[in-house]
Amino acid sequence: MQSMTFDRPVLLLGNAPINAALARWVGDWSGPIVCADGGVRHLPPGRHIIVVGDMDSYQGPASTRLHDPDQDSTDFDKCLACVRAPELIGVGFLGGRWDHSLAALSSLAQARDPIRLIDHENSIVLVDGDYQGRHRIGDTLGVIPMQRCQFSASHGLAYPLDGVVLELGVWVGSSNRITDAHVSIRGQGRYWLSYASPLKPDSE
């Protein structure tokens, strides 16, 4: 399938439901937007329609259409395979059907460029090993292992991860709290990091 390369962050739109606040945030997005098939329904009026997928949901007009009929990959997978950018932000991939949401979280492992998924409440990224990032003090941060993860140190968390081993079905690091604007984690293994959406107010 043909690839598309951008020199600035790209917004990917999925077909899951989004609320009015998130729709306004999408409407304010000034950069490129690529739709995963039915995600076209969330595209703000007047924007170029760039659509990727098997086209089982959208058959309308498009400025750019990358059709891949493969049924062993999701439309989100297809976007990750053909879109290259300094950063990808996915909206409309969480919520709605649980199988779609879980598949999207799994697909993060295939991403070649930095990507985060957001909804009106949360952002989520997949981390492999160490992590550093800036966050709002007081926000909740969850560390959910994709596989068995062993951590050696952390900074900026109310409940340190020093010496902690996390594993699905055994122990997960939900509901931690950020105590410093700079958060760092040293660990081994892949884990999802869940934190506040950019739509959330600074204090709640």
| Statement to judge: residues 41 and 132 lie in one domain | no
| Region 180-198 average pLDDT | 96
Question: Is 158 inside any structural domain?
Answer: yes
Q: At what angle do helices 98-107 and 75-82 cross, to 10 degrees?
A: 20
- End-of-domain residue from the set 62, 92, 121: 121
Q: What is the pLDDT of residues 125-154, one digit of tens each?
A: 999 999 999 999 999 999 999 999 999 999
Percent of all residues in the chain with a pLDDT value above 90, rounded to a whole number: 79
Q: What is the pLDDT of residues 54-95, one digit of tens each?
A: 888 877 778 887 887 878 889 999 999 999 999 999 999 998
CB within 8 Å of 110: residues ≥ 6 apart: 77, 80, 81
| Statement to judge: residues 55 and 110 lie in one domain | yes
Q: What is the pLDDT of residues 27-64, one digit of tens each?
A: 999 999 999 999 999 999 989 889 999 888 877 778 88
| Region 87-106 average pLDDT | 94
| Statement to judge: residues 60 and 134 lie in one domain | no
- C-alpha triplet 99, 104, 106: angle, nearest 5°: 95
pLDDT at 55: 82
pLDDT at 203: 39
pLDDT at 75: 93
d(CA 93, CA 111): 15
CB within 8 Å of 170: residues ≥ 6 apart: none
| Statement to judge: residues 170 and 134 lie in one domain | yes
CB within 8 Å of 92: residues ≥ 6 apart: 13, 14, 15, 16, 17, 18, 36, 39, 42
| Statement to judge: residues 16 and 30 lie in one domain | yes
pLDDT at 56: 82
Specify the 3-state DSSP secondary structure of 183: strand
pLDDT at 16: 95
Quick one: DSSP state of residue 44?
Answer: P
26 pLDDT more than 90: yes
| Statement to judge: residues 115 and 183 lie in one domain | no
Question: Is 11 inside any structural domain?
Answer: yes
Calculate the average pLDDT of the chain: 92
- End-of-domain residue from the set 73, 88, 121: 121
d(CA 144, CA 192): 5
Domain count, the chain: 2
**CATH code of the domain containing 35:** 3.40.50.10240
Specify the 3-state DSSP secondary structure of 109: helix
| Region 96-117 average pLDDT | 94
Q: What is the pLDDT of residues 195-204, one digit of tens each?
A: 999 886 653 4
- End-of-domain residue from the set 92, 121, 150: 121
Could you tell me the residue range of the domain that residue 150 belongs to? 126-195
Percent helix, strand, coil in the chain, to 5, is: 20, 40, 45
pTM above 0.85, yes or no: yes
